[in-house]
Amino acid sequence: MKSEEAIDWGQRDLRHVWHPCSQMKDYESLPPIVLERAKGVYLYDMEGKAYMDIISSWWCNLLGHNHPRLSHALVTQLGRMEHAIFANFTHRPAIELCEHLATLLPSSLTKFFFTDNGSAAIEAAMKMSFQFHAQSPNEQDRKRVKFMALENAYHGETLGALSAGGVDLYSALYKPLLLDVVRTPAPDCFRCPHSKTRATCQAECFSVVEPFFATHGATTTAFLVEPLLQAAAGMRIYPPIFLQKLRHACTQHGIHLIADEIATGFGRTGTMFACQQAAITPDFICLSKGLTGGYMPMAIVAATQEIYDAFYDDYGTHKAFLHSHTYSGNPMACALALEVLRTMQQEEILAQANALAPRAHQILCDALADHHNVGEIRQLGLINAIELVADKKTKTPFPSELRVGYQIYKQALQRGLLLRPLGDVLYFNPPLTITESEWQHATKICQQAIVSCTTS
Ligand SMILES: *Cc1c(COP(=O)(O)O)cnc(C)c1O
């Protein structure tokens, strides 16, 4: 039972708060859970009930909640300076962060531009790419005014980023407001049109993307892509070879490749950045989410020296990138991001996560792979996605109005697991520091929740 006080807070919330990505009417039957504190992989409500945060609070919580080192870094920075204008001023946390990032990213990405959320980083990269071509001495390049992106892509919510996205649920209604982005087919490995497996795939499906380059290659400024993982679309995982072919096509046609590593960066996919697995170098990489360990909103656009140089000139030539956000380069967020990188390095976080990853996948498969509504359990790093289907053989989805994923979400919550599915795709994307026994516990609750919502 909830105490009177907790009920009161929940009701007070609903009087004024409009929550993200929610039909607020759903809150009538499932009121907001009033959180009080968090530690490691757990969130605690005002009753002290624990919820295992197996989705890293929307994929940002990288090393666990209330991490001693990160919290200390934040408090230390707070004692020095909370925020200051970043034009003409700088500070050690930003400088050291960029120096450290430069050692981790492909060596040609040497310049870092700060924004305050992921969508804003995407917008900045889009504007930079456009401006790069718009002020090119080459007349042909000045015709590059379009963007290309994959079906099912997700790049954020602001109008430019939403234009690049291809998840209709989020963008269809806003079409009249959006940029006209050339949308190419995306890999669909679960329902591969070439009947390949992940082991035998040579990205045959890229052949249907190529014609788009033939048609739009000369007028496109950049291709946006989420490397290896279309996360918001349902943790759709595709092989590195598709990314290699995409990089090649972009290079052939003089198109910038913008890698959106907002969800995939900082070890989520088993390497520090997903692009490394394809051994490709994009022209831009956008970073956020795990960047600050999930403590503070911050994002970074990493760009090549070549792009930076194209903006570098006397003031009167009007070539500068006149784009700013009030909280650009916030020192507290920079101090956190720097401590995230140091912690990952000194505590060998990625090696530990990679040691757990195969066992973790096996635990989930042992518990769930044989269930008649589990179509596939796919894995990349510690990210595991369970795609539920009505019919395992034909891979027929459940009718969306059944909201099977949402029913399972509610069951799991009752049992103390925060498992926020994407439609009927359940997924684990926990802090990289999760232990095997915590993973086992989450698996057990997930299994119970699935069983309680499906017929046997
Ligand atoms: C979350 C996300 C974004 C948007 O970041 P926000 O900080 O929520 O604006 C963009 N791209 C990808 C791949 C994401 O996962």
4 has pLDDT over 80:
no
pLDDT digits (tens, 9 = 90+) for 212-248: 999 999 999 999 999 999 999 999 999 999 999 999 9
Distance 68 CA to ligand 1 centre (A): 26
Residues in Cβ contact with 172 at an 8 Å cutoff, skipping those fewer than 6 apart: none
H or E element in which residue 312 lies: none
155 lines ligand 1 (CB under 6 A): yes
Q: What is the 8-class DSSP label of residue 399?
A: P
pLDDT confidence of 198, banded at 50, 70, 90?
confident
**Per-residue pLDDT tens for 363-386?**
999 999 999 999 999 999 999 999
Query: Left (φ > 0), alpha (ψ -120 to 50) or beta: where does 285 sit?
Result: beta
CA–CA gap between residue 235 and residue 99 (Å, rounded): 31
The finding on whether 119 has its CB within 6 A of some atom of ligand 1 is: yes
CA pair distance 71, 77, nearest whole angstrom = 10
Checking if the pLDDT of 31 tops 60, the result is yes
How far from chain centre, in Å, is Cα 121?
12
pLDDT bracket for residue 102 (50, 70, 90): very high
Q: Is the CB of 263 under 6 A from ligand 1?
A: yes
Would you say the CB of residue 55 lies under 6 angstroms from ligand 1? no
Q: Given 3-state DSSP classes, what are the helix, strand and coil percentages for the chain, each rounded to the nearest 5? A: 40, 15, 40
Average pLDDT over residues 180-186: 97
Ligand 1 atom at shortest distance from the alpha carbon of 158: 9
149: β partners: 183, 224
Tell whether ligand 1 has an atom less than 6 A from the beta carbon of residue 236: no
| pLDDT grade for 7, boundaries at 50, 70 and 90 | low
* Gap from CA of 319 to ligand 1 centroid (Å): 28
The yes-or-no verdict on residue 147 having pLDDT over 80 is yes
Distance CA 334, CA 50 (A): 30
Identify residue 193 by its one-letter amino acid code: P
Pocket test for ligand 1, best of 150, 154, 285, 287 (most atoms within 8 A of CB): 154
Is the distance from the beta carbon of residue 300 to the nearest atom of ligand 1 less than 6 Å? no
Using an 8 Å Cβ cutoff, are 383 and 229 in contact? yes
The backbone torsions φ and ψ at residue 309, rounded to the nearest 5 degrees and listed phi first, read -60, -30
Q: Indicate which atom in ligand 1 lies nearest the CA of residue 157.
A: 9
* 275 Cα: distance to centroid of ligand 1 (angstroms): 17
The model carries a pTM of: 0.97
Residue 455's pLDDT is: 84
Computed over every residue of the chain, the mean pLDDT equals 97
pLDDT at 199: 84
Query: Considering only CA atoms, which residue is closest to atom 8 of ligand 1?
Result: 118
Q: Which residues contact 393 (CB under 8 A, 6 or more apart)?
A: none
